[in-house]
Amino acid sequence: MKITIKRKTFLEGLEIVKDSIGKQTALPILKNVKLTARERTLKLHTTNLSTGTTVLLKDILIFSDGEVLCDVLKLMAIVKELPESEVKMETDEKGHLIMECEKSHFRLFTMPPEEFPSEPEIPEDKLFPINNQFFDSLRKVKYSASKEDSRYNINGIYMGSDVVATDGHRMAVIRRKLGFDNIIIPLDFVNMVLKTKNRDERAFKAGCFNNVFFLESEGLNLFGRLIDGEFPDYSHVIPDNSSRFTLIERKGLIQSIKRIMLMSGKNYEMRFEFQPCSLVLSSFTPDLGNAAEEIQIEYRSEMDENKSFAIGLNGKYLLDMLEVLEGERVNIGMGNELSPIKVEEDSSVHILMPIRLIEVESQPEPESEPEPEYESRLEANQQPEPEFIEEAEVD
């Protein structure tokens, strides 16, 4: 192999394919990129066996075809430090990769390219065009996907009659069918897909074949192996009997949560007390102190209009939900203090389980001691956070 390529073009290609290398693997070969020079293009391919990326680079000079396999991170580190000029690459008689750029010379040891895993393929008739709704759906639900390896069947995004993600404590549902039947796309691959979309505005096609998801555009192919499991039945955990409703300015609520969350500890536990015209957010951490903030809201209750209502929520989870919404104001539906809250916007539904609050009768305490309302939070720290997904898994 002997080629000449622009440094910028080569670096952009390496930046794309590096996300698919095996970062924590016992197989050293998966830390490599396969370079194939053929038909006036340079193909870069990486894979960690679960995901893979292929990029075709054009505008290069090929003096002789060939292929080589070398460490992608080391190759990228070298190219980053090269001057903005043409890079000459060729393989010597021992198969090593020789690189030259102006007065810089490098020789990289390589591995046999024929031992690198081959790329899975999909018939052209299995691919179909996708639009921004596909990427928007992934972006709006991925925050709810589980990150626990032990719960593999919810470690991704489900696509069927709806687009759904859940970790058992929260759930996001997009009422939209995107052309896929009962598949679960791993969260790591979803992040790769969204990163690719942010980088590239070209038209995309997608499809599934042999339990592999493919995403393709001009000069770029991604593949990810689907999760082989059954996604839990999520339909019956969406509450339909809310009796309390509040309308809150979304950005203002986000800022308030960020402030009060500073004193909520590592579990982000917060108390939300709703009154007819206001919401009091509060948090307490035994070794830090407490925080509280009151904001103006619209609130109505079908139970008792004038009685306040308190519910415990994970502030970080609620923040994740609010940040994917787009409306200026958010409408939150609630039942009792043990029922999940529900937020609806356009075709999306977002569910969050509460944290159990146990009110404790308190005796007068010195001023240095926590106030009674925070003692209830202190006791709540000892309660396991409820989940709804176990119920679904039994069905």
On the question of pLDDT at 374 being above 80, the answer is no
Whether 207 is covered by a domain: the verdict is yes
User: Is there a domain that residue 234 lies in?
Assistant: no
Whether 159 and 202 map to the same domain: the answer is yes
Domain range for 102: 2-115
Query: Average per-residue pLDDT in the chain?
Result: 89
Give the model's pLDDT for residue 394: 36
User: Which one is predicted more confidently, 276 or 389?
Assistant: 276
- Does residue 313 fall inside a structural domain? yes
- Closest by Cα among 150, 212, 216, 141 to 183: 212
More confidently predicted of 271 and 380: 271
| Pair of tokens at residue 31 | 């830390």
* Residue indicated by tokens 């209502």: 309
Q: Which of the 8 DSSP states describes residue 367?
A: T
| CATH code, 107 | 3.10.150.10
Do 102 and 8 lie in a common domain?
yes
Q: Is residue 77 part of a domain?
A: yes
* pTM score, whole prediction: 0.86
Count of domains in the chain?
3
Residue 377 in any domain: the answer is no
Average pLDDT for 281-308 = 90
Distances (CA, A) of 68 to 45, 51, 54, 98, 361: 11, 21, 15, 11, 73
Element (H, E) at 214: strand 212-217
- 69 shares its domain with 164: no
CA 52 distance to own-chain centroid:
18
- Please say if the pLDDT value at position 385 is more than 70: no
Could you give the CA distance from residue 395 to residue 391 in angstroms, rounded to a whole number?
A: 7
Angstrom distance (rounded) from CA 130 to CA 391 = 34
Which of 325, 354, 358, 146 is CA-nearest to residue 249?
Answer: 325
Please indicate, yes or no, whether residues 6 and 107 belong to a single structural domain of this protein: yes
The percent of residues in the chain predicted with pLDDT above 70, rounded, is 90
CA distances from residue 130 to 160, 166, 230, 236 in whole angstroms, order as listed: 15, 24, 25, 30
> Domain check: are 76 and 167 in the same one?
no
The pair of structure tokens assigned to 127 is: 């691919």
Looking at the structure, tell me whether residues 7 and 111 fall in a common domain: yes
Strand 156-159 to 183-186 pairing: antiparallel
Which parts of 48-191 are beta strand (E)?
51-57, 61-64, 66-71, 86-91, 97-101, 104-108, 128-130, 156-159, 163-166, 170-174, 183-186
Residue that is last in its domain, among 167, 197, 225: 225
* One domain, residues 7 and 107: yes
- Which of 65, 84, 115 is the last residue in one of the domains? 115
**Domain shared by 270 and 220, yes or no:** no
Helix/strand number for the chain, H first, E second: 8, 26
Burial of 218 (0-12, 13-18, 19+ CB in 10 A): exposed
Same domain? 111 vs 130: no
Q: Do 288 and 218 share a structural domain?
A: no
To which residue do tokens 């039945």 refer?
Answer: 233
> Is 373 inside a domain boundary?
no
* Boundary of a domain, candidates 90, 115, 140: 115
The percent helix, strand, coil of the chain (3-state, each to 5) is 25, 35, 35
Kindly state whether residues 347 and 250 are assigned to the same domain.
yes
What confidence score (pLDDT) does residue 388 get?
62
378 domain-assigned: no
Identify whether 365 is part of a domain: no
Q: 250 and 145 share a domain?
A: no
Question: What is the per-residue pLDDT across 31-52, written as a single tens digit (0 to 9) for each?
Answer: 999 999 998 899 999 999 999 9
Using the predicted structure, report yes or no on whether residue 63 has a pLDDT greater than 80.
yes
